[in-house]
Structure 1
């Protein structure tokens, strides 16, 4: 009897030892998520990516871990978008402008002089119109979570201040790989050259292009002031970023995991917008301190630019369709008249 008891106890102990490592592995197993972005780690993009990572870890009790990879180490926005569509990468944040080739409706956010303020943009992007565009991504292999802010875009170059339409003549300007941006600057008289952001600094440094257009934060964090002398405040386009996930990958997640990512994305969005706007003010002051010559473009000249590129807006309206175009215009009108109310 004693021998049987000893053997039984030994067998139980052995069995428990065999099971325990597997149970422990299941308990501590984490889901690793690669989150790519284009700017440097110390940029507004990088800081918000860290907030997103921290929130995901907190909300999932450490079971989901974001590996934020910046400086375009996973490729340009277009390359990362393709990686998401193919299921080779899980998440990213990038420009809405580079999505136009996949989802033409995203050209809505490229409309020159669309928004008068960041607050207007928030209401539109977070409202029904913004959601309508996000939904268009689903059948393209992408899932849109939230919009971040890149900011109002302004012009820099190494040749001369741009104070009027005629000053664009002959300037070789890098623009995003997007037909709306190409058409806009060609109509203004510039020689528009599409280049990935990852190649931009070198192109400016080697004089392959004379200038570029980006928000203050990006101009500062990318150190374009080292190779650009003039900054002209045009506020010609409000440029959003969008947090994306691979639909192939997203469809493998549980409802709880998706909820964690959505809540963390909203927290990162709110942080990022506030951070970006505060940094924009500081960035402009710092760019002046670094020696950039800054000039304001007068309202009269801005209006001339609007008139010059009017055919671009008409083309955007056709590309995005009347439903989306009108939804944005109607809400903007309501916002400006003070009759826009959040949905209950």
Structure 2
């Protein structure tokens, strides 16, 4: 009997070793190029580093990534294009620049679509998010998962924004995205689409008065040096898409593909936790650095939202009524 058990153990060990070796054979040594727009200290950068770490662990150290943060490889639009062409392997990007490739991504630009992070998670991790990631395939890209950039707020050098009227006349930088441009024009601002690397200098010189971004972007880019006021508008929520070149994806084994998807999904949970924990700290830091932070009342938020409804009505047909319905269903499911 001991010999039989030993034999079974031996057979099990051999089988385990065979499976392990077979899986290992499907993972090749690779060094990949991964670029994104934020600094490594930002929660997105921390999430990106966690993703790199997890891919390394799950591949047994075979898959390595050279990371290029802080627009070292170009603007988001440029790095998306480079990833499409296979010049860059992986990109982390805001979803707004993707609208030029897949019009349905404009759903994330709808003003006041989400009230809180729970609603946002339900949409990006649910059927809407999966549909949007899948749509990148026709554009030579593969969507892996969504990180969180966060709720966006307006900063400016002129005045606190407490009503819709306070937005009027501000020269505000927006992303190169039609929904954002139309939304701020509707509020009476002079919307100036501009690549992110140019924004600090434009604010410093007075070429523009304002910009809009989540707290983390405001903080790590030291916008307190060129902006006085932060108005907590929460006018939009920005996911951050993790995307791979389809040229690379098609060369990967199923085992390698699984490593990237699993690593992204683990890293997104970590990244969102970091993002949400740091917001409160960042608000205190920005105040300490001299920024004046004000909240909008629920009544004024409702007025601004109503004023922007025509923008949503304009873009809803191109996004697709079914996708909008799915988003609304996911949001309703959180209550």
- Does the TM-score normalized on the shorter chain lie above 0.5? yes
Match of 1:228 in 2: 227
Match of 1:201 in 2: 200
Match of 1:118 in 2: 117
CA drift of 1:331 comes to 2.0
Q: Is 1:62 aligned with 2:61?
A: yes
Matched position secondary structure for 1:249: helix
Matched position secondary structure for 1:170: coil
Query: Structure 1 309/254 Cα, relative in aligned 2: closer, same or farther at 3 Å?
Result: same
User: In the alignment, is the contact (CA less than 8 A) between 2:120 and 2:331 conserved in 1?
Assistant: no
In 1, the alpha carbon distance for the partners of 2:86 and 2:41 equals 28
Give the length in aligned residue pairs: 311
Match of 1:256 in 2: 255
Query: Structure 1 94/237 Cα, relative in aligned 2: closer, same or farther at 3 Å?
Result: same
Match of 1:21 in 2: none
In 1, the alpha carbon distance for the partners of 2:122 and 2:27 equals 41
Rg (Cα) greater in structure: 1
CA drift of 1:199 comes to 1.2
Alpha-carbon deviations, 1:199-226, whole Å to 9, x = none? 1111111111101000111100110001
Alpha-carbon deviations, 1:31-80, whole Å to 9, x = none? 01111110112111221111111111110001100111101001111001
Match of 1:185 in 2: 184
Match of 1:278 in 2: 277
User: In the alignment, is the contact (CA less than 8 A) between 2:126 and 2:330 conserved in 1?
Assistant: no
User: In the alignment, is the contact (CA less than 8 A) between 1:37 and 1:45 conserved in 2?
Assistant: no
In 2, the alpha carbon distance for the partners of 1:319 and 1:222 equals 34
| Residue ranges of structure 1 left out of the alignment (5+ in a row) | 1-25, 337-344
In 1, the alpha carbon distance for the partners of 2:330 and 2:285 equals 36
CA drift of 1:330 comes to 1.8
Match of 1:105 in 2: 104
CA drift of 1:27 comes to 12
In 1, the alpha carbon distance for the partners of 2:148 and 2:40 equals 16
Query: Structure 1 28/300 Cα, relative in aligned 2: closer, same or farther at 3 Å?
Result: closer
Match of 1:246 in 2: 245
Mapping of residues 1-344 of structure 1, within 5 Å: 30-336=29-335
Alpha-carbon deviations, 1:238-288, whole Å to 9, x = none? 111000011111111111111111111111101110000011111111111
In 1, the alpha carbon distance for the partners of 2:28 and 2:212 equals 44
CA drift of 1:316 comes to 2.4
User: In the alignment, is the contact (CA less than 8 A) between 2:118 and 2:334 conserved in 1?
Assistant: no
Matched position secondary structure for 2:161: coil
CA drift of 1:30 comes to 2.2
User: In the alignment, is the contact (CA less than 8 A) between 2:171 and 2:189 conserved in 1?
Assistant: yes
User: In the alignment, is the contact (CA less than 8 A) between 2:52 and 2:64 conserved in 1?
Assistant: yes
Matched position secondary structure for 2:203: helix
| Residue ranges of structure 2 left out of the alignment (5+ in a row) | 1-24
Matched position secondary structure for 1:145: strand
CA drift of 1:29 comes to 6.7
Matched position secondary structure for 1:151: strand
Alpha-carbon deviations, 1:121-141, whole Å to 9, x = none? 111110111111111111111
User: In the alignment, is the contact (CA less than 8 A) between 2:26 and 2:253 conserved in 1?
Assistant: no
In 2, the alpha carbon distance for the partners of 1:177 and 1:232 equals 22
Matched position secondary structure for 2:53: helix
Provide the alpha-carbon RMSD of the alignment: 1.4
